[in-house]
Chains A and B, each alone.
Chain A
Amino acid sequence: MADAVYQPRLLMLATLSCAYPGADAVGKARLEYYPNVHILGVPAPVMFPKEFYLRTYAKGFDGIIIAACGSDCPYKNAYDQLAARIDDLVQDMKQGGLEIARIRTTAICTVCIKPFLKEVEEMKEKLAPLGPVNREIAATLWRAEREAMKTRAAQVA
């Protein structure tokens, strides 16, 4: 295993109404993808603050795919709110020197077997030349965001 090809460690935030059953459908069809993909079922990715993503990179995930429901989102306006958060995150990553290819938002439905496999494969190919995430940079960005949150809280108090 010493010469193993680098396989980016991927986190997929998969909505329980759409993308998570979509990932199940891929397995049920016995279609394989590379095993360094960690699927995390979530009610709605709109719940994650910027610092969650930054911390996740700092812990060593090389890429994050947000697999949402798109227009099938069961929650009011959540998809737009999510898009605004990710825009904000991308700005921070750009400024802080973290490759923005490491984040991707997409929609995967409950029977979207082919799109699922395509997303995973494309993300893998996009991240392979970048190599492992720079955890130091990510940790610095994460700490800065935690400080910014503290400042916001202090301003109210």
Chain B
Amino acid sequence: MEPTPNPLESPDQPKIGVYICRCGGNISDYLDTEKLADTVRGIPGVTLSKVDTFMCSDPGQDRIVQDVQAGLVNRVVVASCSPFLHEVTFKAAVRRGGLNPYLYTHVNIREQGSWAHGHQGDAATQHALHMIAGGVGKVRHLQPLDKIRLPSHRRVLVIGGGVAGMKAALDTARRGLPVLLVEKAPQLGGRSLDLGRVYPSEQEARELVKRLEKDVRAEEKITVLTGSEVTAIGGFIGNFEATISTGSEQRTDAIGAVIMATGFTPYQPPEGEYAFGHSQVVTLPEFVKALRDMPSGKTLTWNGKPVRSVGLMHCVGSRQCEGCFQPQPDGQLNDYCSRVCCTSLLRNAVELRSRFPETQIYDFHQDIRTYGRGQEDYYTCASDQGVTFFRWKGEEPPVVTARDKGGLAITVKDQLTFGEEIEVPVDLLVLGVGMMPGPIADLVDQLKLPVGADRFLQEVHPKLRPVEVAVAGVLLAGTAQGPMSIEESLEGASAAAAKASILLAHDYTDLEPFVALVTPDLCVGCNACVEECQYAGAVTMEAGPEGKSVATVNPGLCKGCGACVAVCPTRAIDVQGWTLDQFDAMIDGMTDEALRVPATQG
């Protein structure tokens, strides 16, 4: 499609505006941003350069909009943070000014500048200058581009039928989009089915599941597939294809967006960790399930034995210190906080004290992290009801041993009594196990999903894009993303549903135009690109004018890797937005010896 001519763009006369961000000191405390602006003004084609404290703020963005509208600039470079944060922001500003947004280049002088060379004086500023000069070189060669519009399937796949998956399915369907809800287990509900009453509402988790399931089943736009698994998935936003297996049956569905609500796995302590394996040591999920179905009484009974005292151990499989615990098979420890265990342990302490008043409770924690609304009340309440607290240091976890006369002994260096070593006998020990990522390696592999250092699925940005991943069209709901409470899982699910509805608001998807394009006049028809390309049909030889064969790209099939570019003898084929001429110009800018920032005096 021919781009509409835009009088503002005048490609033959580049008027380049360079905007340098101080990032509130994150950049300007280390690099001399004023000198940078002064020096880049000397580069041919640069008509103005400006410095702003926060280019991403509204006034910062408005500088670009106004300069473009006034006809002062027709190419824009912003030197600020990583392009992964604000390239989109500034492209949008360029568009608001009336220019094609692809006439923009982003230069990273924070993550790869001030933060990486901040204490190296003028050399760091000089480096930033050359990086900006590279960006100026590129922007001079940019062409207006249009996004590629492809039809998309307006249908959402939700993987996982726990509370997050059900909530995400409901919210999506109620916006009018058909949903496929796939759950591995024979029933909906996930791990909530094993819980009792849950904080902060003290609602029965099974009641919550029942209500959600009733709504899900009543919603005609939702197709529920239990006892089913997604066995193969691929594609891209608007155009995923998923194979779903139910027993020996298989179906293949065209999908526009995917919501990952695959949940977590509770940490399973190795034999011997806090005496795990002993009949009187139990994990919190097992204990909660048993407690729920147990009659109340004066004293708790476990394995037929009366329990006069219970120990609650925090941070089992969470916030693990190096050398203290057995690492996971990949050699890593779980150094993150699982966030729900503190409140859950204390909630159950309160329940135990009221249902079994003669059972004493001893709580062993590193910290008490009852961080959410209403959660601190559980701590206050547990304190009021006589729960005894011991605090241990991360690198000195308590030691649990079996006692000869039965029960267990917990030895702790208690920080609340200034490091005194105390031995506490208990009849039962409950391990507050943390959360681990679910077994979703195949999905991660097939969808190329990013995984964080904690091995959970990773969002693009915790604040700015909290439920999106770097793979467009895939969204996160619930604990697939990291440890969180039911409350937070449902929030995440609603956010993911809203995002999915936005992505599929139309029956088309606009994709970045960064695919190969042939300049027919330069093509000699040698076929090298066709031979090099790994995607069937992405580039083919077609009859051109005067009977000449000319390489032709199918933008829907091209992935933009550029393998074809390297083998072309005439530079007839290039990836749009990333052409070899642009790269050459960047190298020229980065090596421009004439560009020097004046040295700092003294």
Contact = CB atoms under 8 A, between A and B. Distances in A.
Given A38-B131, A38-B134, A110-B450, A32 B116 contact: yes
A102 interface: no
A41 interface: yes
A31 B134 contact: no
Nearest to A7: B123
A41 B108 CA distance: 10
Contact-residue size bin, chain A (C-beta under 8 Å from the other chain): 35 or more
Contacts of B583: 40, 42, 48, 52
Interface residues of B, number: 57
Contacts of B117: 32-35
Interface string A1-28: 1000000010100000100010110111
A36 to B, nearest CB: 7
B134 A40 contact: yes
B126 A153 contact: no
Nearest to A41: B83
**Interface hub of A35, A72, A77, A78 (most chain B Cβ within 10 A):** A35
Interface in B441-474: 448, 450, 452-453, 470
Contacts of A152: 526, 569
A23 to B, nearest CB: 5
A149 B570 contact: yes
Interface stretch (A56-64, A91-99, A122-130): A56-64
Nearest to A113: B453
A74 interface: yes
B103 interface: no
Interface in A103-141: 110-111
A55 B587 CA distance: 9
Given A24-B84, A78-B534, A31 B116 contact: yes
A100 interface: no
A70 interface: no
B566 A49 contact: yes
Given A49-B580, A153-B524, A38 B534 contact: no
A56 to B, nearest CB: 5
B124 A35 contact: yes
B530 to A, nearest CB: 13
Contacts of A157: 524
A61 B586 CA distance: 12
Contacts of B309: none
A31 B126 CA distance: 19
Nearest to B450: A110
A31 to B, nearest CB: 7
A32 B119 contact: yes
B123 A35 contact: yes
A134 to B, nearest CB: 15
A106 B372 CA distance: 44
Contacts of A39: 108, 112
B339 interface: no
Interface of B: 82-84, 108, 110-113, 115-120, 122-124, 126-127, 130-131, 134, 448, 450, 452-453, 470, 514, 524-526, 532, 534-535, 559-563, 565-570, 575, 578, 580, 583-584, 586-588, 590-591, 593, 599
9 contacts: A32-B118, A32-B119, A37-B127, A46-B561, A47-B565, A48-B566, A61-B590, A76-B534, A77-B534
